[in-house]
Structure 1
Amino acid sequence: MSTVAQILSSKPSQAVHTVPPGASVREAIELMARQRIGSLLIVDGARILGIFTERDYAQKVEVRGRTSTGTPISEVMTPDVIFVTPATTSQECMALMTGRRLRHLPVMDQGALVGLISIGDLVKDIISEQQFVIAQLESYIHS
């Protein structure tokens, strides 16, 4: 079973993209499109104020008739951010994500933001673990 630290170390980029609370929704979605990511953290200095996801855009901007250029990100972000630590296991993350219907989890270590993992990162890790177990079992059977 992998830990978040192991998952983060296997990612090609550990960059976490952020915007300030005064940024417009348009600025946020443009950054998300450029970086090909599904979420951004809203920060004030080192303090995390919230998270903004594609789901937030669909449910709080588009459906409600707000404009992307005229809406500050702070009005549509999800303020209650759930975090994990580098020691959290992939199974604990998967249970948290499925139970709370989340797709992204920021990773905090001693009060500092150190990364962000997605449901895709977890699926990739779990598949890799399963392939390893299958290979071991096949090796055992054929020896």
Structure 2
Amino acid sequence: MKTARQVLESKPTQAIFSISPVATVYAALQMMAEKGIGALLVMEQNKIVGILSERDYARKVILMQRTSRETLVRDIMTGSVIYVRADQSTDDCMALMTRHRLRHLPVIDGEELVGMLSIGDLVKDIISEQKFIIEQLEHYISGGVH
């Protein structure tokens, strides 16, 4: 079983995208669209103060009849950010995401933010791992192992 760090290292890009809490929601949406991502960490002086997801936008701007050009990130972000340590297993990550209904999970190594995992990253990794195990079992059953 892999760790959060190993999954991060296997991603094509390990960039961490963040925004200020005083930026507009519109600016955050522009960044998410440009980067092809569904969430941004909200950072203030290298400290995580929240996370902003497409879900936050849908529920706290559109449904509340606010405008994205006038609403600030801090007004709709999720302030309590759940994260994992870099050495935690993919099973730990999936359990946490399932229990808390999360799609994005920051990864911390000590005090340092090292990346962000999405549910898609974890599913892709788990499928790859299961495929490898199946291939090994098929090889063993067919007599390929001596």
One-letter code aligned to 1:13 = T
Q: How does 1:103-118 map to 2 (within 5 A)?
A: 103-118=103-118
| Structure 1 residue ranges without an equivalent (≥5) | none
Residues in 2 aligned to 1:110 and 1:35: alpha-carbon distance in whole angstroms: 27
Residues in 1 aligned to 2:127 and 2:80: alpha-carbon distance in whole angstroms: 30
Residues in 1 aligned to 2:82 and 2:127: alpha-carbon distance in whole angstroms: 24
Say whether residues 1:119 and 2:119 are aligned partners.
yes
Residues in 2 aligned to 1:75 and 1:111: alpha-carbon distance in whole angstroms: 26
| Structure 2 residue ranges without an equivalent (≥5) | none
Instruction: Specify the alignment match of 1:39 in structure 2.
Output: 39
Instruction: Specify the alignment match of 1:19 in structure 2.
Output: 19
Q: Provide the aligned C-alpha RMSD in A.
A: 0.5
Instruction: Specify the alignment match of 1:101 in structure 2.
Output: 101
Kindly provide the CA deviation profile for residues 11-35 of structure 1, in whole angstroms up to 9, marking residues without a partner as x: 0111110111110000000000000
1:97 Cα deviation from its structure 2 partner: 0.4
Q: What is the SS of the residue equivalent to 1:105?
A: strand
Residues in 2 aligned to 1:91 and 1:84: alpha-carbon distance in whole angstroms: 11
Residues in 2 aligned to 1:79 and 1:12: alpha-carbon distance in whole angstroms: 28
Kindly provide the CA deviation profile for residues 37-66 of structure 1, in whole angstroms up to 9, marking residues without a partner as x: 000011111111000001000001111000
Residues in 1 aligned to 2:112 and 2:72: alpha-carbon distance in whole angstroms: 25
Instruction: Specify the alignment match of 1:2 in structure 2.
Output: 2
TM-score under structure 1 normalisation? Answer: 0.99
Instruction: Specify the alignment match of 1:128 in structure 2.
Output: 128
Instruction: Specify the alignment match of 1:83 in structure 2.
Output: 83
Q: What is the SS of the residue equivalent to 2:43?
A: strand
Task: List, as ranges, runs of 4+ consecutive aligned residues in structure 1 with deviation greater than 2 Å.
Answer: none
Residues in 2 aligned to 1:125 and 1:115: alpha-carbon distance in whole angstroms: 16
Residues in 2 aligned to 1:94 and 1:47: alpha-carbon distance in whole angstroms: 24
Q: What is the SS of the residue equivalent to 2:48?
A: strand
One-letter code aligned to 2:27 = E
